[in-house]
Amino acid sequence: MVGNGKTKKWRFSLHKSSSSSSPVTEKTMPLDEFICPISGLLMFDPVVVSSGQTFERSSVEVCQKLNFVPVLADGSKPDFSIMIPNLTLKTAIANWCVSTGVDSPPGAPEYRLVEDSVRKLMSSSNVDSRFRDSERDLLRRVAEKPPVIITHAATQLNPRSVHHLFSTSSSDESVFANIPYTPPLPLVTRPSCYSSSPSASTCSEIVIDKTLDPTSNTSDEHNFATKLGNVDVLVQEQSVILLRKLTRTDEEARVSLCTPRLLVALRQCLVSKHAAVQANAVAALVNLSLEKTNKLKIVRSGIIPSLIDVFKSGVSESQEHAAGVLFSLSLEEENKTAIGVLGALQPLLNALHSDSERTRHDSALALYHLSLEQSNRVKLVKLGAVSNLLTLLETGLAGRVLLVLCNLATSNEGKSALLDSNAVECLFQKLRNGDSNESTRENCVACLYSLSIGSMRFKGLAKAARATEVLRVVEKTGSERAREKAKRMLMMLRERDYAEEGMNWEALLEEGVSQTWYRGNSTGF
């Protein structure tokens, strides 16, 4: 509400009365849907998160920054991995402000006020970090899947009734790259081998040979490590399957079993010539990597080179899980540089063209997280990643590929490579097609905006791509952030046009020649 030249913000209590369903009698009392459940403020920029609730954007960003997931009034916990602008609600709030005599909607809430509200909620809650919460929810849903039994291929030695875990296609996820204002926030999501929606190929039950007692010493990592190193392939396979099953749902087991000795034994299984041993070993590693405390241990155990070998020569199922492991490990900040140095970037780039959708999507997400690190951006440019990624803009992987391109565009090396590879034309063509979802369009604009900053080449490339007409459409129909970036690019292009039109090039050239002649004569010949 505006008055006396100052912006006033609505603030309401987070605690709602149980009789909130009764008709509101006060004209100036907003609907509950207009109030952010976290900050208690009338929303300025409402966004829908993955779990379906709507919050003020700054509230979600503060929660992400503080690794905090609040417990809502109904006892549920929101999933902040995706934010989609709720333009309908924003319009409704604006209409309400007008109908109640408020001249305009409230301005963006002060970051300090939102952070204070979140910290108060944190002080009264005892929850784990956002990674632990999302993973716990993930595993709870995985455990509810119907069982499907899948046996080994006929070419396996000693066929046994053991195989495969859970399989599903990746869900379409969109993430906003906050460029250039702040670095993109790490995605809080999961490997594609996990899904809440069952499919015909889903397997959530592993059948184990009765000769191995699943109740004997299953918590003893020494016993596991010994059996995993056994020369008998049957013992080795049954042990790795049991490890996979145990670590699928037991968080304590994942932490206690992730020791250097067991990781060394598991690493040997990753390069096994027996497909069943290899596939189940990589799947068990996915389970272990879900625990935040394990992510650094796994990378330091020297297991990354073995995962790279799986990409090169492993069976399809093993490659799918290997992509999931690298994606999971890349969530840890301290792992990003190490994974890049150990040579995982090239295999991940190759995996973007895999026949497996799960492999493609998890590889793209791993590359997104790894490209948040500057050293990896330089490596990706040297590996020719830009042209590789641009070829995927017209595929179903476009949304995640754009996230990597947005990261590359923030570095000088990446910007030069993108401009050299005709990225401006490709991105404007993607916008011109109009067949993309809102998040993909926003990331296209964000990448273009990053390329335009400080670049003398961008204007000429943008003109050749007929950028003005595309940007005007985005300015009218895009999301709030996309409209703002499109507006800035249009202003920049117009300012440069005006500067060139008002410049007397002949006089400038004559002046330049004259000054050169004078400087030359002043020094003598």
Give the model's confidence band at 104: pLDDT under 50 very low, under 70 low, under 90 confident, else very high: low
pLDDT digits (tens, 9 = 90+) for 141-171: 444 444 433 333 323 333 333 333 333 333 3
Give just the sign of the alpha carbon dihedral 384, 388, 391, 396: negative
d(CA 379, CA 374) in angstroms, rounded, equals 9
* pTM of the complete model: 0.58
Region for 395 from its dihedrals, namely left if φ exceeds 0, alpha if ψ lies in -120 to 50, beta otherwise: beta
Give the model's confidence band at 497: pLDDT under 50 very low, under 70 low, under 90 confident, else very high: low
Average pLDDT, the chain: 75
pLDDT at 180 over 60: no
Which is more confident, 161 or 4?
4
Q: For residues 401 and 392, is the Cβ–Cβ distance under 8 A?
A: yes
Beta strands 46-49; 83-85: pairing state: antiparallel
Q: For residues 453 and 488, is the Cβ–Cβ distance under 8 A?
A: no
Give the model's confidence band at 521: pLDDT under 50 very low, under 70 low, under 90 confident, else very high: very low
Task: Give 474's contacts (C-beta < 8 A, 6+ positions apart).
Answer: 431, 441, 445, 482, 483, 486
* Predicted pLDDT of residue 27: 54
pLDDT digits (tens, 9 = 90+) for 80-97: 888 888 888 888 888 888
* Predicted pLDDT of residue 189: 52
Average pLDDT over residues 67-79: 84
- Token pair recorded at residue 73: 């009034």
pLDDT at 520 over 50: no
d(CA 73, CA 130) in angstroms, rounded, equals 18
* Predicted pLDDT of residue 492: 85
* Predicted pLDDT of residue 125: 66
Q: Which of 17-21, 260-264, 474-478 has the lowest mean pLDDT?
A: 17-21
